[in-house]
Structure 1
Amino acid sequence: MDIATAILIIGFAALVAAFLLLVIGLVYSELMNSDIPRGVANSGKLHMVHGLFVGLAIAGRILHRLGICHQVNFIRWFVACFLTRLRPVPAGLRVKDLKFSEVPVRLYQPTAVCGGLRRGLVYFHGGGWVLGSIDSVDEVCRHIAKESETTVVSVGYRLAPEHRYPAQLDDCEAALCHFLSVAEAEFGVDANRVAVGGDSTGANMAAALCQRLARTQVGRLPFPRAQVLVYPTLQMADFNLPSYQQNHAVPVLFRGRVAFYFLQYLNGDVSLCQDLLEGIHVPTELKPSYKEWLSPSNLPPECVARGFTERPAAEYDGEVYHAVKAGLEHEVSPLLADDAVIQKTPPTFILTCEYDVLRDDGILYRKRLLDLKKDVTWRHVADGFHGMMNFFNHSWLTFPSAAYVVDSVVDYMRTL
């Protein structure tokens, strides 16, 4: 080996070492900003998973700034290649990749003999409208389909930042309406027993879609039999609810990231994150209604037990409002819909997790539904954190409590 080659090799090794040290240093700094309470299930493993995800985000950020690839594309690639494992289809289940109205879907059909038409579930994955895929919820959909004897349709809607609102919701609507129109003839499913559901932002779209269909699809197709909302994000008006304060730094979803994801969904202007967190985007005339619906007094006393400080009202900024005003409409913030809209929604299953910034969104939506005499089933995971469903049956990434979340959905689907 000549001297020039040796120098190149040493230089390259030094650059790699410097890159790794930079990533490690940034990961350590980010980890110090997290706060995992003692009550969280498998807190040691959650620390490890959080470190992995922070490392991915930081490595992606560096590659983005170097002009090598977009941060989001790097994270999607890594998750698809190293954290998503598609196993052989188990006995008793048939799985097909199809397209419904040009929207990619994955269909899960139980093969056991059924005495009549089956029930159905159209499922929307989470991921902040930016991440997630059909593959990321494959294990969840398999389990729900097989254990509840339900035909499940998992929807691969378009993602931000490539596509903004309402592209994602439009895709979900198109896939659902296509399925409803052919459910019985092509798949042996009773269109009157088809629920919609999802986790996190997928649950947001399930709730928003039910409200949209209540206004636009009257009489055209069967209305969803139920909405299944797993730790849903339901409003963009108040990021200072008790759950946001108590769990602001609990992985895998920090308080600031919720505002970031909403902005990615709406317009991509993440410079407005702090404005959303402070609440200056909410017009003065809307605050009384929001205060009524989002008041901490509507929460069970135990939700405030870990601490809550009432924040002074923020001064309204009209420019910020006009930049994000679509986010306060009920198709993005279903919790903020008028009573007349919520009154038309189907029976609801809501699951919340104690150590989740979005906990209070689900509980407050339950309160609104109950006040309107709607049928609601609520499950609460006392040691749960946001996103735990994604760690169901994923080898070393598995969290035992995730099984409770998925089986709760199974139990509810059996009632439909």
Structure 2
Amino acid sequence: MGARLLCLCLLTALLGYYIYTPLPEDLAEPWKVMLVSAAFRAVGHLSEAADLLGLMHYMEGMRLITVLELVAPTPDENVTVTDTKFNNVPVRLYLPRRAPGGLRRAMVYFHGGGWCLGDAGMKSYDHISRRISNELNAVVVSVNYRLAPQHRFPVPFEDVYSVTKFFLQSKVLSQYGVDPARVCVAGDSAGGNLAAAVAQQLLQDPEVKTKLKAQILLYPALQALDLNLPSYRDNDNKPLLPRSLMVRFWSEYFTSDPALREAMASNRHIPADSGHLFQFVNWSRLLPAEMRKAHVYSGPAVGGAGLAREHRGFLDPRASPLLASDARLHRLPPAYILTCEHDVLRDDGVMYAERLRAAGVPVTHHHAKDAFHGAMMFVLWPLDLAVGHRLFSTYMDWLNENL
């Protein structure tokens, strides 16, 4: 009996140690955040072990998060929901049931997950898409683009671009009763990356006549040139996206070569001929003083010549929209950018907001000082968070007024 009690106490202590994560003081509902963070870390550790043992690829293990969250495309009294294909790419389509009362708004949405995880049918994405469709009387096209590492860059971009271009055709917009002057692209995290890249690419495409009304970028990943920004340093181990995982997402997007991941981890992956791009990620100029803090700027280090020649995809603006020239930015549609203080991707969004404003693009930048990466997705019981509800409400208000 004594031995069992001792084992129980030890297991309880170990569980408590595993769950406990030091959190910033301004994060509300810390125990709930800790539990969510612990669950993510547990899946990550199991995936890493399975990868090391040769049982499965790390990202296949991580997709357990996606599988557990999937829900069927079930219609309700407000919205018709169907899984279909646009231009041979799977999408989940949300159509309001109410009488339109005129042409509707529309959103083409790209889910997050580091280009390796996620699905339009995950419970949180499904819930949010339903609410947008119902409350804004909008058509929502949520895209299930192909994922890395099976399908690396530029395949995910090509999928979302193909869907957007297809949807923006006059005959398709007319079929769904959509006002061509009220269409936006949107996405979170890696999906925000794709939304920004799509908005840029549409401007270069003479076949596309419909102009976007807006681009919505929720804590987006926008560049892989400098992975040692102040936000990467300050939020190295914050929930739910530690620096090591973001580096892995970036590297898996481009190659299976572990050399790139190792170089990215040490911020020594930049080709020698890419110095002219540093101006676009120079955080000493683009970040406000309160985010620069006491950090001293040093540009990314130049990597090995062979590595630089072989893997250059991260220098393509379709993968790193922040690297687009000022001339390319100035014709972009108005932007809504959400950034979170406790997020490795914070500075990407802040710098993009600054560059867009400088290029003359109207920008609404909502910076949540008490939030972490992915916070807006936590709006469903039992993992709903007050900060998630607040961010979503602010987002909906902006859409209602600006789309």
Q: How does the TM-score come out when normalised to structure 1? A: 0.86
Pairwise CA distance, 1:79: 3.8
Which residue of 371, 374, 382 maps to 2:361?
Answer: 374
Give the distance between the partners of 1:36 and 1:376, measured in 2 at CA: 30
Give the distance between the partners of 1:151 and 1:68, measured in 2 at CA: 42
Pairwise CA distance, 1:221: 3.3
Equivalent residues of 2:104, 2:179 under 8 A apart: yes
CA offsets 1:79-130 (integer angstroms, 9 cap, x no match): 423x445696443222111111111111111222222111100000000001
Structure 1's 65 and 357: CA in aligned 2 closer, same or farther, altered over 3 A? closer
* 257-266 or 152-161: bigger deviation: 257-266
CA offsets 1:232-252 (integer angstroms, 9 cap, x no match): 000011112111111111011
1:7 is matched with: none
Pairwise CA distance, 1:300: 2.0
1:205 is matched with: 194
1:259 is matched with: 247
1:160 is matched with: 148
Give the distance between the partners of 2:324 and 2:50, measured in 1 at CA: 41
Which residue of 131, 138, 152 maps to 2:126?
Answer: 138
Structure 1: 5+ residue stretches without partners = 1-16
2:340 is matched with: 353
Which residue of 89, 92, 99 maps to 1:103?
Answer: 89
2:399 is matched with: 413
Give the distance between the partners of 1:76 and 1:31, measured in 2 at CA: 21
Equivalent residues of 2:165, 2:208 under 8 A apart: no
Q: How does 1:69-148 map to 2 (within 5 A)?
A: 69-77=56-64, 79-81=66-68, 83-84=69-70, 89-136=75-122, 137-148=125-136
Describe the SS at the equivalent of 1:404. Answer: helix
Are residue 248 (structure 1) and residue 221 (structure 2) matched? no
Which residue of 366, 369, 375 maps to 1:388?
Answer: 375
2:43 is matched with: 56
CA offsets 1:13-33 (integer angstroms, 9 cap, x no match): xxxx9xxx9xx97x988768x
Equivalent residues of 2:168, 2:208 under 8 A apart: no
Are residue 339 (structure 1) and residue 323 (structure 2) matched? no
Equivalent residues of 2:271, 2:309 under 8 A apart: no
Matched to 1:162, the amino acid is Q
Structure 1's 62 and 335: CA in aligned 2 closer, same or farther, altered over 3 A? same
Describe the SS at the equivalent of 2:85. Answer: strand
CA-atom RMSD in angstroms: 2.5
Structure 1's 36 and 127: CA in aligned 2 closer, same or farther, altered over 3 A? same
Runs of 4+ in 1 over 6 A off after TM superposition: 27-32
Pairwise CA distance, 1:317: 2.5
Structure 1's 28 and 258: CA in aligned 2 closer, same or farther, altered over 3 A? farther
Give the distance between the partners of 2:126 and 2:111, measured in 1 at CA: 10
Give the distance between the partners of 1:78 and 1:195, measured in 2 at CA: 28
Structure 2: 5+ residue stretches without partners = 1-6
Describe the SS at the equivalent of 1:135. Answer: coil
Give the distance between the partners of 2:149 and 2:16, measured in 1 at CA: 28
Structure 1's 340 and 78: CA in aligned 2 closer, same or farther, altered over 3 A? closer
Pairwise CA distance, 1:315: 4.3
2:209 is matched with: 221
Are residue 170 (structure 1) and residue 158 (structure 2) matched? yes
2:4 is matched with: none
1:14 is matched with: none
Matched to 2:183, the amino acid is V
Pairwise CA distance, 1:345: 1.6
CA offsets 1:39-89 (integer angstroms, 9 cap, x no match): 2232221211111111112223334444544443343245423x4456964
Give the distance between the partners of 2:25 and 2:395, measured in 1 at CA: 26
Matched to 1:226, the amino acid is A
Give the distance between the partners of 1:163 and 1:211, measured in 2 at CA: 22
CA offsets 1:204-230 (integer angstroms, 9 cap, x no match): 011111111211x22533132211100
Which residue of 281, 284, 296 maps to 1:296?
Answer: 284
CA offsets 1:275-311 (integer angstroms, 9 cap, x no match): 1233322245533542354223321222234x42434
Q: How does the TM-score come out when normalised to structure 2? A: 0.89
Equivalent residues of 2:173, 2:179 under 8 A apart: yes
Identity %: 34
Give the distance between the partners of 1:406 and 1:269, measured in 2 at CA: 38
Pairwise CA distance, 1:168: 0.5
Aligned length: 389
* 61-70 or 119-128: bigger deviation: 61-70
Matched to 2:222, the amino acid is L
Equivalent residues of 1:281, 1:318 under 8 A apart: no
Describe the SS at the equivalent of 2:213. Answer: coil
Matched to 2:175, the amino acid is E
Matched to 1:250, the amino acid is K
Equivalent residues of 2:280, 2:322 under 8 A apart: no
